[in-house]
Amino acid sequence: MLMNKNLGPASGEAKLQYGPNGFRVLRAGNHVFCAASGVPIPLEELRYWSVEHQEAYATPQLATERLKP
């Protein structure tokens, strides 16, 4: 996970760029929304995302369902 410590604490939705080994914070915030369920995911709990779709997922089950062919 790549985070810029100069951004400081921020509330609201973050904008992230998802990569294969982590993500980069483009706009400061404290959460993103799950693409499958819409629930907010605190950045410190974010573990599942799609680099191809640039989406975050709250659980591995939601990620699997969302990414099924």
Give the model confidence (pLDDT) of 39-59 as tens digits: 999 999 999 999 999 999 999
Contacts 24+ apart (CB under 8 A), 12-20: 13/40, 14/43, 16/49, 16/56, 17/54, 18/49, 18/50, 18/51, 18/54, 18/55, 18/56, 19/51, 20/51
Give the model confidence (pLDDT) of 16-34 as tens digits: 999 999 999 999 999 999 9
Q: What is the pTM of this model?
A: 0.82
Cβ atoms of residues 35 and 56 within 8 Å: yes
Nearest CA to 26 out of 37, 42, 39, 10 is that of 10
At 23 the pLDDT is: 97
